[in-house]
Amino acid sequence: MARRVAVVGAGMTRFVRRAQETGKELAWEASREALASCELPLDRIDAVCLTSAPDAFDGVHMKGEYLSDGAGAFGRPFIRTYVGGGSGVFTAIQAYYTVASGMADIVLAVAEEKMSSTQPHPQGAFLTIFDNILERPLGPNLLWIFALEMNRYMTVHGIDKRDIAAVAVKNKRNAADHPAALLGQADVTIEDVLASETLAWPVQRLDVSPISDGAVAIVVASEEAAKQITSDPVWIQGVGWNLDTAYWTNRDLVFPEYVANAARMAYGMAGVTEPRKQIHLAEPYDPFDYKELHHLEGLLLFDKGKAPEAARDGVLDRKGDLPSCPSGGLLGVGNPIAAAGLMKIAELFWQLRGEAGARQVPGTPERGVAQAWGDLMQVGTVVVMGREGGPPTTATQLETPPAATPGQSLSDAEFRSAAGAVDDGIGARYAWDAGVAIGGFLDGLREGRIMARECRGCDRVLVPPRMFCERCFRGTDAWKQVENTGVVQTFSICNVSWDMQPLDEPELPAVISIDGSDGGFLHTLGEVKPDDVTIGMAVEAVWKPVGERTGSILDIAHFRPRKDA
Amino acid sequence: MLEKIARPDQIRRWEGDFPVRHRYTPGVGGEAFFTALKERGVLLGSRCESCAYTYVPARLFCERCFAELSADTEVGPGGELVSFTIVFQGIEGEPLDQPEMLGAVRLDGADAVLIHRVLEPGDEPLEIGERVELVLKGENQRTGSILDIEGFRVAEA
């Protein structure tokens, strides 16, 4: 039987655009504050769980080892986990099971991110999340994937962009009350969001959370230890995590089923049977404004497509029926990736203890849910936390946490001129083998055919093809040629390159479902005006001339509206 | 399963890179260390009294007890050679014209060791435990970099 586990302390640095501190110094500042908040010396910590997102941000291989001293790991059991954007919430889950299992009584969980080291733009670190062979030749950038998902979500449910913009407004206003926030803005309006630069339609500048540096830490303890440390522990009542298919172009982009699966797991553990009644506040993951709504639906707190109305009607406001991101979220406080996720756990801790000061949601909320999401948009991580046994006892004496806000911000000029700063590049190059399934797919493209693999276990025709079915976990059965036509599942009109430079001509990335298959892939649209593209449009592959084909995804020049349609 | 590959040149492969570079701030501890090195030609460490340990370069915090530290302790310029190696190959495996010697040195007043080049080893073989001393670049050549230290040389007996 798992032991009961509580959060007993939390701390964080300021989230800033460029921190003077090194990553390990940021980790130490947050960790020290978390320990101070529950008056524990480092030697009471039995084990350390750390998370930080891609090593590529820092160009430091084994970043966990690099950050370990700042996380208090010296001489202790230590592990670094990484599930992309889901990492921050996941490290709380890991701390939970380390304590629940009896392996440790008190665990320090630390999340650090320093994105400012990446030059010329941190988005470069994300380029290799795309398939090296099927997607990178198309020149995708991270905005594409969000824009594609957002467009489909909006189109399928008929959502007004204003209702999505309301989330950005809410969070930036909420963050104005957060002492660690990077982008708090009390007077921002929906019109400001709708007037901001269009990056990759429908994504505009103010729909997006900022690149940030920062760190967050929490102290997690067993029931016995927690009751010695504080009179007011906040219990981790349930945890859940879940993964969708790695083939993102085969996924339902309208509803995050993996978040729902993670939520069901966490609610089941927490005994939550009616989340809309039993969850009093939420910290869903909001790197983009639509994602908060998408995730609130995944968390089963709203019907599919109905969260935007809640944003419009003020239900999600700090004083609304279901306060969502009362911290200010990633859109307002900032998005140092792994740290931003753990910030949501820290916010639930402060809110449920009644310590959130100007950010405090009214009433005495008893239970909240925090969620993050990551990897290639496929992992959901969920934690349900609650306070039990009467109103909080510590509410009035404390300063508004975070009590101190360490973290020194550098201007761009200071960053460029800092004494002792070092410029470096990894300088590695790679060669990727196509493998069996994709090799066959590419051979087909050179012949002007789109080839799939059949799985007779689940009766699916798989595009992109694979030699094994990830659902049935058996070998696939046969090659099958499918049509050279398809349907636009979603698309974007992208105006910027990965390093955020304007493009002369916008690009039209699209997810195309291929006729005669159960899948599809990413490509670009051509021979069509951007304004004429619609979701559901029938398209056909335009092949390069035979002599120019090389066995590459680029053997299809683009997809265009079907001439016979 | 896969067959043995007899013609590696026929494997379909894609080449790519990781098109990012990095710029690292030295941090709070590092800035104090490099400023003193550049401007005063001294190496600063950080003393944690409760752990009885002196770190070098200077640090913002003690990893043992989490105390806040400052760049409060000047270390060196003399020290003890704790270990060394002689490098005969470059990063691509190419032979070096001149072998490079690297030493791990515990500077006087420090507990942590510092890695840097060993200069002018002379005719006698290096010995672990022998006395070495810092060699710095001239004041006008120092930029606030670990390369402001030229290396260590064997101390005059």
| DSSP states of A228-283 | HH-S--EEEEEEEEEE--S-GGGS-SSS-HHHHHHHHHHHHHHT-S-HHHH--EEE
pLDDT tens string A154-212: 999 999 999 999 999 999 999 999 999 999 999 999 999 999 999 999 999 999 999 99
Mean pLDDT in residue range A241-251: 90
Position B94, amino acid: E
pLDDT of residue A399: 63
**B53 close to A (CB below 8 A):** no
Vertex A355, ends A209 and B63: CA angle to 5°? Answer: 70
Residue A394 confidence class, pLDDT cut points 50, 70, 90: low
Structural contact between residues B31 and A25, judged by C-beta atoms closer than 8 angstroms? no
Asked, for residue B36, whether it belongs to a domain, the answer is: yes
Distance from CA of A38 to the nearest CA of B (A): 15
- Say which residues have a Cβ less than 8 Å from residue B10's Cβ, sequence separation at least 6: none
CB pairs under 8 A between A and B: 149
- What is the structure's pLDDT at A391? 57
Name every chain A residue with its beta carbon within 8 A of the beta carbon of B70: none
pLDDT at A116 over 80: yes
Is B17 a member of any domain? no
Rounded-to-integer distance, Cα A375 and Cα A53, Å: 10
What average pLDDT is seen over chain A?
93
If you measure CA to CA, which chain A residue comes closest to B25?
A: A421
Q: What is the set of domains in chain A, with CATH numbers?
A: 5-116+203-404 (3.40.47.10), 435-561 (no CATH)
What pLDDT does A377 receive? 79
Q: Is the omega angle on the peptide bond into residue A120 within 30 degrees of 0, that is, cis? A: yes
Burial of A497 (0-12, 13-18, 19+ CB in 10 A): middle
B36 vs A contacts (CB less than 8 Å): none
Closest to A136 (Cβ–Cβ): which among B16, B27, B29? B16
Q: pLDDT-derived band of residue A424, with 50, 70 and 90 as boundaries? A: confident
| DSSP letter, residue A42 | G
**Residue B19: inside a domain, yes or no?**
no
Range of the domain at B79: 24-154
Model confidence over A89-115: pLDDT tens digits?
A: 999 999 999 999 999 999 999 999 999
Report the pLDDT value the prediction gives residue B27, as an integer from 0 to 100.
93
Query: Is residue B7, in this structure, part of any structural domain at all?
Result: no
Per the structure, the count of domains in chain B is 1
Q: Residue A228: which residues within 8 A CB-CB, separation 6 or more?
A: none
Bridge pairing between strands A450-455 and A478-482? antiparallel
Residues A22, B33: C-beta atoms closer than 8 Å: no
- Chain A environment of B40 (Cβ under 8 Å): none
Whether residue B71 lies inside any domain: the answer is yes
| pLDDT-above-70 percentage for chain B | 92
Contacts of A433 in chain B (CB under 8 A): 11-13
What's the confidence (pLDDT) of residue B5? 58
* B55 domain residue, yes or no: yes
Mean pLDDT for the stretch of residues B141-147: 94
Task: List, in order, residues 6 or more apart from A413 with CB less than 8 Å away.
Answer: none
Q: What percent of chain A has pLDDT over 90?
A: 81
Chain B residues closer than 8 Å to A219 by CB: none
Q: Is residue B63 part of a domain?
A: yes
Whether B8 shows a pLDDT value over 60: the answer reads no
Whether B114 is in a domain gets the answer: yes
Nearest CA in chain B to A68: B63
pLDDT exceeds 80 at position A397: no
Residues 6 or more apart in contact with residue A552 via CB below 8 angstroms: A137, A442, A445
Determine contact: B117 vs chain A, CB below 8 A. no
Question: Which pLDDT band, with edges at 50, 70 and 90, does A390 fall under?
Answer: low
